[in-house]
Amino acid sequence: MESFDAVIIGAGAAGLFCAGMAGQRGLKVLLLDHATKVAEKIRISGGGRCNFTNRDATPVQFLSDNPHYCRSALARYTPADFITLMQRHGIDFHEKHRGQLFCDRSSEDVITMLLAECDAGGVVRRHGCGVRQVRHGSGGYELDTAQGVVNAPQVVVATGGLPIPQIGATDFGLRLAEQFGHRLVTPRPALVPLTFDASQWAPFVTLSGLALPVRISTGKGRGGGDFLEDLLFTHRGLSGPGVLQISSYWQPGQPIRIDLAPGQDVAALLTQAKLGSRRQLGNELAQLLPTRLADTWLAQQGLPAQRPMPDCRDKDLQTLGQRLQQWSLVPAGTEGWKKAEVMAGGVDTRQLSSQTMESQQQPGLYFIGEVVDVTGWLGGYNFQWAWASAAACARAL
């Protein structure tokens, strides 16, 4: 039986980074992945340019049932640390929007860098090598892999979340956690488009492809989210950055609230316009909203777009403004794991050390990255969690 100091299961963002760091600390590390092509999620991320971190990442941008858990790891491995690593490897990048950093060339640069870090640490990599079983045994843990039995005193689970099963996502890490007595926070798709019942959505289908900036919120207090971001109408519902952000907070049955004209007082502007404008209602509303949306909205409210402004009743204008700025609707569901960018929920952090990511139940067993119940906003935060949790673990191995 081959022996290692640590076996890391999953060669994605967290697993590759952890392996490189641990190897460079002098440990004999085995990194396993059942996929033949590693780091597929890095490859497809950020439209192929990998939004690899967010310059402004703080614990505020992360969701978890145990909200303070992520603080320690995020404080000890920061966006600036990862930027320094990128610079050391000569990888050019740029800031796109609100602190989001993307590769200038391709996400392949990040993968090449992580593999080079693994090589520098002498990491043994086995791809296309699934793990059938993990059990207590000689030297700590024994693993039945597709290429034989190995053992190690330390096992790191970095198998990611459930999104995009077609490129290798599995529930292996979640099942392993349960096998070793860990609780799970129920996994659910996050950063995912929201869908509506066909009949409820019928009036808006023609708006498919339309995008506009909105204020969008759901829930209240700690469990609630509130974003000023773009929204995109789709054939089945709503997408775009604002909706993806809110989807991570949304609970089935809950309404979402949308202000379609943020920063404006539509009722006051229309009432004022009535006094001086000879335009028709549809044209006046199209000064405040995209024309297609203005027309669809008026039709849906039963208000004639051709009505001259002076003929509009104040009460109708008030109601129109209020409904546009406090649009409340209950999604039927989400587009699910096939379209989700991350998994919310996962291994309950109340049974893990926030300093090292080690299990409090099973010494030598670690969980890092997306398999853990820590979920970042859209914008590079999920990779920052992968790097930070991997670093916390690698320092402790």
Q: Which residues bind ligand FDA (CB under 6 A)?
A: 9-15, 32-35, 38, 41, 44-46, 50-51, 130-131, 158-160, 163-164, 168, 170, 172, 341-342, 369-370, 380-383, 386
Measured from the CB of residue 158, what is the shortest distance to ligand FDA in angstroms?
5
Smaller CB distance to ligand FDA: residue 80 or 275? Answer: 80
Of 365, 336, 376, 320, nearest to 158 by C-alpha is: 365
> Of 189 and 237, which has the nearer Cβ to ligand FDA?
189
Smaller CB separation from ligand FDA, 141 or 201: 141
Residue 370, Cα to own-chain centre: how many angstroms? 9
Task: Give the number of other Cβ atoms within 10 Å of residue 25's Cβ.
Answer: 13
What is the residue whose two structure tokens read 């808006």? 204
Shortest CB 74 distance to ligand FDA, Å = 13
C-alpha distances (whole Å) from 183 to each of 9, 179, 373 are: 20, 10, 11
Do residues 369 and 386 lie in contact, with contact meaning Cβ atoms separated by under 8 Å?
Answer: yes
State the minimum distance, in angstroms, from the CB of residue 47 to ligand FDA.
8
What are 194's two structure tokens?
């929201």
Residue 154, beta-bridge partner list: 6
Residues 6+ apart with CB under 8 A from 356: 366, 392, 393, 395, 396
Nearer to ligand FDA, 51 or 217 (CB): 51
* Nearer to ligand FDA (CB atom), residue 131 or residue 260: 131
Residue among 325 and 375 whose Cβ is closer to ligand FDA: 375
Nearest approach, Cβ of 102 to ligand FDA (angstroms)? 8
Q: How far is the CB of 21 from ligand FDA (least distance, A)?
A: 14
Alpha-carbon distance 83 to 69, whole Å? 23
Name which of 258 and 340 has its Cβ closer to ligand FDA.
340
Q: How far is the CB of 7 from ligand FDA (least distance, A)?
A: 11
- By Cβ distance, which residue is nearest to ligand FDA? 12
Query: Measured from the CB of residue 5, what is the shortest distance to ligand FDA in angstroms?
Result: 19
CB atoms within 10 A of CB 291: 14
* Integer angstrom CA distances of residue 72 from 184, 232, 315, 384, 385: 21, 36, 54, 13, 11
Is the distance from CB of 12 to CB of 41 less than 8 angstroms? yes
